[in-house]
Amino acid sequence: MSDRIVFDPHVCGGRPHIRDTRVRVSDILAALAQGESVADILTDFPYLDEEDIRAALQYAAGSVDHLVLTAA
């Protein structure tokens, strides 16, 4: 996946976040879900760029795309 999304047990409680920041993937997704535009997020977090937002979305898409097995 993207090298922009990192995990560190000492940063953000080990939750996925944008490298070199304390901005969690969930913070970006929540802002988008609440209707904030990418431009708004970049204004609020000027140290992020559009690639960081795309990486968060890609991470989220990959996280929910998993095989579900059911017992017969």
Cβ-contact 41, 32 below 8 angstroms = yes
Q: Domain of 42: which CATH number? A: 1.10.10.10
Domain tally for the chain? 1
User: Looking at the domain assignment, is residue 33 inside a domain?
Assistant: yes
pLDDT band, residue 71 (cuts 50/70/90): confident
User: Looking at the domain assignment, is residue 19 inside a domain?
Assistant: yes
pTM, full prediction: 0.85
User: Looking at the domain assignment, is residue 71 inside a domain?
Assistant: no
pLDDT at residue number 1:
55
> Per residue in 5-41, pLDDT tens?
999 999 999 999 999 999 999 999 999 999 999 999 9
Residues contacting 44, CB < 8 A, separation 6+: 31, 36
Q: Which of 55, 54, 45 is nearest to 21 (CA)?
A: 45
